[in-house]
């Protein structure tokens, strides 16, 4: 007996392929929507990366500085006389022994000239004859807990040893920095939100116009007793797949851009900033962007279809 | 099975196309629906297949007052009704096979069951060689047969047909009427809107006649005269 499916096969009609009851994949505007979602994903990728880099920066800058103070011994005394480096060192040692004897202080470290040179290099340049410039003394100290009282007491004692010495708690510039990066992160967050909303709006608009174009077909399904969820699934699947495709393109192009940016900044030797490599978790988040775009698109399509269908009897 | 009580329908702010319609279709009955063009046959069928809500009156379907039902509750009722639309309403982007399979897919039937049933039915209506042809490349009569196959594939409890034999030669027309009769014998309630007097006379069934927005029931003349002969 002849295989009953032989004819179907010979006609090239596969019966297992998932099909649409509505010709959505042939509908106009599909390419446009894919492109739009690709662009949105691209922007979202850049915004998220920027936000990750910023948070890595603030982490790195603030983590090293927590509960740390730096005692600065200026290279000149209150009378404006330049101190020799031996004198500065002697004062430094005196202050250090004072600090170590205090119970609130955990650790101290007198920075060597080398370390100080390394610190000021980005600002003053290597070529300056650093050896000839009198360097201030710097002592970094780690406290058990940074309270204003402790700082006050320590400052008083230090001033008794050297009038112009002062404690720098980094609070001021760190606070400014954190406020600045916080604002940038907030902007990135708002940008991501706007991208999400724009995607939802675009998908909803496309679904609405498709439903208008295929009104007769949609109504027919409805009259045959299709539940709203059956009809919305058609649009959902379609939006899901094209948003995923768009998302993949966006992430691919965005990733390429990030690599190029990374390469250029590496080439130009932007070593002023520490190296901000993203962690696996953050890369993972970026990689799931297409999935996320696909999901919000499907959800937007579903809500739109259900809303339109509610007008049918 | 179906009961209309004082049902009226108007489109927008136009005049009432149907006014004060009351009738009942018993389970397993077979009726023709006639009336001149524009009398409201299609409109009445639309009310029955729940394509529109009436402007007034009470409609009871399968024992349920449809005014009190939610949208979700109407879907299973619609699944029990097969409709042959006057303009067919076939989906032109899918094959005849897929068009006929659509109601089964909507009802979530298994693909193997769908394949066998649809193939069998299409062969039965003489379209075995046209299963994978798109409807818009078919003749009017072929499209009509696809539309009929789609309406009966689910073995509906109620079958509504709007001019189902309009485009068919009498040979195929009678075959399809026989299909309807066969379905009717298996318990499907049938209501067919038609102008076709020969059909109405040949198959002796009760007639619902639409006239000036009202509806009256007529028994078949043949049958009526036989009854009178028997009595007197
Ligand atoms: N969607 C609609 N909007 C407005 N008026 C309509 C609509 N459908 C039908 N009508 C009007 O309702 C009246 C009845 O139309 P209907 O299609 O029900 O008649 P019919 O008996 O099926 O006619 P035919 O035998 O020509 O198919 C007509 O006057 C028509 O103009
Ligand atoms: Mg009509």
Give the residue numbers spanning the domain of B140.
90-155
* Residues of chain B contacting A308 with CB distance shorter than 8 Å: none
- The DSSP call for residue A82 is B
Q: Which of B78, B99, B69, B90 is nearest to A225 (CA)?
A: B78
Residues in chain A whose Cβ is within 8 Å of chain B: 4-5, 8, 11, 13, 15-16, 19, 21, 23, 26, 216-217, 219-228, 230, 310, 312-313
Angle (CA) A298-A292-A275 rounded to 5° is 165
Does residue B53 fall inside a structural domain?
no
A261 CA distance to ligand 1 centroid (A)?
A: 67
Give the residue numbers spanning the domain of A40.
24-63+174-310
Residues with CB under 6 A from ligand 1: B 11, 14, 17, 35, 37-43, 86
Q: What is the SS3 string spanning A166-203?
A: EEECCHHHHHHHHHHHHHHHHHHHHHHHHHHHHHHHHH
Q: Which residues face A109 on adjacent strands?
A: A140
CA dist B82 and B164 (Å) reads 12
* Residues of chain B contacting A313 with CB distance shorter than 8 Å: 50-53, 71, 74
Q: Which helix (H) or strand (E) holds B37?
A: none
Residue A3 to chain B, least CA–CA distance (Å): 12
- A108 and A72 together in one domain: yes
- A200 and A304 together in one domain: yes
User: Which residues are CB-neighbours of A185 under 8 A, at least 6 positions away?
Assistant: A51, A54, A55
The number of C-alpha atoms within 13 Å of A145 and in the hemisphere containing its C-beta is 2
For B223, phi then psi, to 5°, come to -60, -45
Interface of B with A in 81-110 (CB under 8 A): 81, 83, 89, 91, 93-95, 97-98, 102-103, 105-107
Does residue A84 fall inside a structural domain?
yes
C-beta of residue B25 within 8 angstroms of C-beta of residue B64: no
CATH number at A98 reads 3.30.70
Helices and strands: H and E segment counts in chain A:
10, 4
Which of A13, A226, A310 faces B106 most closely, judged by CB atoms?
Answer: A226
Of all protein residues, whose CA lies closest to atom 5 belonging to ligand 1? B11
* Residues of chain A contacting B132 with CB distance shorter than 8 Å: 8, 11, 13
Q: Do A227 and B74 touch (CB under 8 A)?
A: no
Ligand nearest, relative to CA of residue B38: 1
Last residue of a domain, one of A147, A169, A191: A169
Residue B55 to chain A, least CA–CA distance (Å): 12
Q: DSSP 3-state helix, strand, coil percentages of chain A (rounded to 5)? A: 65, 10, 25
How far from the centroid of its chain's Cα atoms is residue B11's Cα?
A: 22
What pLDDT, on a 0 to 100 scale, did the predictor assign at position A12? 38
pTM over 0.90: no
C-beta of residue A67 within 8 angstroms of C-beta of residue A143: yes
Place of tokens 């073995």: B155
- A77 and A193 together in one domain: no
Categorise residue B19: left if φ over 0, alpha if ψ from -120 to 50, beta otherwise: beta
- A273 and A189 together in one domain: yes
- A100 and A153 together in one domain: yes
The number of C-alpha atoms within 13 Å of B7 and in the hemisphere containing its C-beta is 27
- Ligand 1: residue of B37, B40, B211 to mutate (most ligand atoms within 8 A of CB) is B40
Residue B12 Cα: closest atom of ligand 1 = 4
What pLDDT, on a 0 to 100 scale, did the predictor assign at position A11? 40
- The DSSP call for residue A76 is B
Does residue A192 fall inside a structural domain?
yes
Does residue A79 fall inside a structural domain?
yes
Does residue A115 fall inside a structural domain?
yes
- Beginning with the edge strand found earlier in the chain, give each strand of the sheet holding B214-218 in spatial order: B81-84, B158-162, B189-193, B30-34, B206-211, B214-218
What pLDDT, on a 0 to 100 scale, did the predictor assign at position B165? 77
Does residue B149 fall inside a structural domain?
yes
CA dist B180 and B176 (Å) reads 6
Does residue A146 fall inside a structural domain?
yes
C-beta of residue A216 within 8 angstroms of C-beta of residue A7: no
* Number of domain units in chain B: 1
CA dist B161 and B31 (Å) reads 11
Angle (CA) A226-A232-A233 rounded to 5° is 95
- Positions of chain B with pLDDT under 50: 230-232
pLDDT tens for each residue of chain A, 313 residues long: 344 444 443 343 434 445 678 888 777 778 889 999 999 999 999 998 888 888 877 777 776 667 778 888 887 776 777 777 788 888 888 888 888 888 888 888 888 877 777 776 666 666 655 566 677 788 888 888 777 788 888 888 888 888 788 888 777 777 787 888 889 888 988 998 999 999 999 999 999 999 999 999 999 999 999 999 999 999 999 999 999 999 999 999 999 998 888 788 776 655 444 456 677 888 898 999 999 999 999 999 999 999 999 999 8
Does residue B57 fall inside a structural domain?
no
CA dist B41 and B194 (Å) reads 9
* Number of domain units in chain A: 2
User: Which residues are CB-neighbours of A275 under 8 A, at least 6 positions away?
Assistant: none
Does residue A9 fall inside a structural domain?
no
- A178 and A279 together in one domain: yes
Residue B169 to chain A, least CA–CA distance (Å): 27
Ligand nearest, relative to CA of residue B215: 1
* Residues of chain B contacting A221 with CB distance shorter than 8 Å: 102, 106
- A126 and A259 together in one domain: no
CA dist B148 and B82 (Å) reads 9
Beta strands in B46-94 (DSSP E): 56-61, 64-65, 81-84
Q: Which of A239, A253, A256 is nearest to A41 (CA)?
A: A253
A193 CA distance to ligand 2 centroid (A)?
A: 52
- List the single best residue of A5, A10, A16, A224 to mutate versus B (max B Cβ within 10 A): A224
What pLDDT, on a 0 to 100 scale, did the predictor assign at position A16? 42
- A54 and A72 together in one domain: no
- A154 and A289 together in one domain: no
ipTM above 0.85, yes or no: yes
B51 CA distance to ligand 1 centroid (A)?
A: 14
Last residue of a domain, one of A126, A142, A169: A169
- The DSSP call for residue A291 is H
* Residues of chain B contacting A222 with CB distance shorter than 8 Å: 78
Q: Do A21 and B94 touch (CB under 8 A)?
A: yes
- A138 and A235 together in one domain: no
Residue B172 to chain A, least CA–CA distance (Å): 26
- A90 and A132 together in one domain: yes
CA dist B188 and B35 (Å) reads 23
Q: Could you tell me the two tokens for B36?
A: 């001149």
Does residue A47 fall inside a structural domain?
yes
Last residue of a domain, one of A127, A152, A169: A169
CA dist B159 and B170 (Å) reads 21
Q: Which of B28, B190, B164, B157 is nearest to B84 (CA)?
A: B164
Q: Which residues of A50-83 are buried (b: 16+ CB within 10 A; e: fewer)?
A: bbbbbbbbbeebeeebeebbebbbbbebeeeeeb
CA dist A100 and A286 (Å) reads 47
For A277, phi then psi, to 5°, come to -85, 140
CA dist A284 and A235 (Å) reads 28
CA distances B183 to B105, B154, B187, Å, are 21, 11, 7
Q: Do A19 and B94 touch (CB under 8 A)?
A: yes
- A182 and A56 together in one domain: yes
Angle (CA) B79-B82-B88 rounded to 5° is 125
Which of B75, B83, B132 faces A227 most closely, judged by CB atoms?
Answer: B75
B41 CA distance to ligand 2 centroid (A)?
A: 5
Does residue A19 fall inside a structural domain?
no
Residue A221 CB coordination number (10 Å):
23
Does residue B65 fall inside a structural domain?
no
- Angle at which helices B96-106 and B140-152 cross, to 10°: 20
How far from the centroid of its chain's Cα atoms is residue B201's Cα?
A: 19
B38 CA distance to ligand 1 centroid (A)?
A: 5
Q: What is the pLDDT of residues B113-161, one digit of tens each?
A: 999 999 999 998 889 999 999 999 998 889 989 999 999 999 999 999 9
* Residues of chain B contacting A238 with CB distance shorter than 8 Å: none
In three-state secondary structure terms, A310 is: coil
What pLDDT, on a 0 to 100 scale, did the predictor assign at position A271? 47
Q: Which of A207, A190, A68, A38 is nearest to A138 (CA)?
A: A68
What pLDDT, on a 0 to 100 scale, did the predictor assign at position A269? 55
Place of tokens 């006050």: A152
What pLDDT, on a 0 to 100 scale, did the predictor assign at position A57? 76
Does residue B23 fall inside a structural domain?
no
- Overall residue count recorded for chain B in this entry: 232
Does residue B103 fall inside a structural domain?
yes
């Amino acid at each position: 007996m002849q295989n009953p499916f032989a004819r179907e096969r010979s006609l090239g009609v596969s019966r297992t392929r998932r099909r649409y009851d509505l010709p959505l994949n042939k509908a106009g505007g599909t390419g446009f929507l894919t492109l739009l979602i690709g662009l949105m994903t691209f922007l979202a990728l850049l915004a998220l990366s920027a936000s990750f880099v910023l948070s890595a920066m603030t982490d790195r800058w603030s983590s090293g500085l927590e509960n740390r103070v730096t005692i600065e011994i200026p290279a000149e005394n209150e009378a404006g006389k330049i101190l020799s480096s031996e004198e500065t060192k002697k004062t430094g040692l005196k202050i250090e022994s004072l600090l170590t004897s205090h119970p609130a202080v955990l650790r101290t470290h007198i920075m060597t000239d080398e370390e100080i040179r390394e610190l000021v290099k980005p600002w003053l340049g290597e070529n300056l004859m650093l050896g000839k410039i009198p360097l201030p003394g710097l002592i970094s100290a780690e406290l058990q807990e940074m309270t204003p009282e402790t700082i006050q007491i320590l400052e008083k004692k230090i001033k008794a040893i050297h009038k112009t010495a002062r404690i720098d708690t980094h609070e001021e510039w760190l606070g400014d920095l954190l406020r600045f990066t916080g604002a940038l992160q907030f902007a990135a967050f708002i940008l991501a939100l706007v991208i999400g909303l724009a995607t939802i709006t675009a998908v909803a608009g496309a679904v609405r116009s498709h439903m208008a174009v295929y009104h007769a077909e949609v109504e027919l399904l409805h009259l045959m007793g299709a539940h709203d969820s059956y009809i919305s699934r058609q649009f959902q699947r379609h939006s899901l797949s094209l948003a995923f495709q768009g998302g993949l393109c966006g992430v691919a192009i965005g990733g390429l851009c990030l690599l190029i940016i990374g390469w250029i900044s590496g080439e130009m030797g932007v070593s002023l900033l520490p190296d901000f490599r993203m962690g696996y978790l953050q890369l993972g988040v970026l990689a799931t962007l297409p999935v996320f775009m696909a999901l919000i698109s499907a959800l937007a399509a579903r809500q739109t279809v259900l809303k339109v269908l509610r007008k049918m009897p | 099975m179906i009961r209309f009580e004082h049902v009226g329908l108007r489109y927008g702010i136009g005049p009432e196309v149907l006014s004060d319609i009351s009738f009942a279709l018993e389970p397993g009955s077979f009726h023709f629906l006639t009336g001149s063009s524009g009398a409201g046959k299609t409109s009445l069928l639309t009310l029955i297949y729940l394509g529109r809500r009436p402007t007034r009156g009470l409609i009871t379907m399968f024992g349920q007052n449809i005014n009190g039902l939610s949208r979700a509750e109407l879907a299973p009722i619609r699944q029990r009704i097969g409709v042959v639309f006057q303009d067919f309403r076939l989906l032109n982007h899918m094959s005849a096979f897929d068009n006929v399979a659509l109601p089964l897919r909507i009802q979530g039937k298994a693909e193997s069951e769908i394949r066998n049933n649809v193939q069998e039915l299409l062969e039965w209506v003489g379209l075995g060689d046209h299963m994978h042809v798109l409807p818009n490349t078919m003749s009017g009569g072929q499209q009509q047969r696809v539309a009929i196959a789609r309406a009966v594939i689910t073995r509906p409890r109620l079958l509504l047909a709007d001019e189902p034999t309009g485009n068919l030669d009498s040979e195929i027309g009678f075959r399809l009427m026989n299909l309807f009769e066969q379905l009717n014998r298996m318990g499907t309630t049938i209501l067919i809107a038609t102008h076709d007097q020969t059909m109405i006379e040949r198959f002796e069934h009760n007639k619902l006649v639409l006239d000036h927005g009202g509806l009256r029931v007529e028994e078949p003349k043949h049958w009526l005269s036989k009854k009178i002969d028997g009595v007197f």
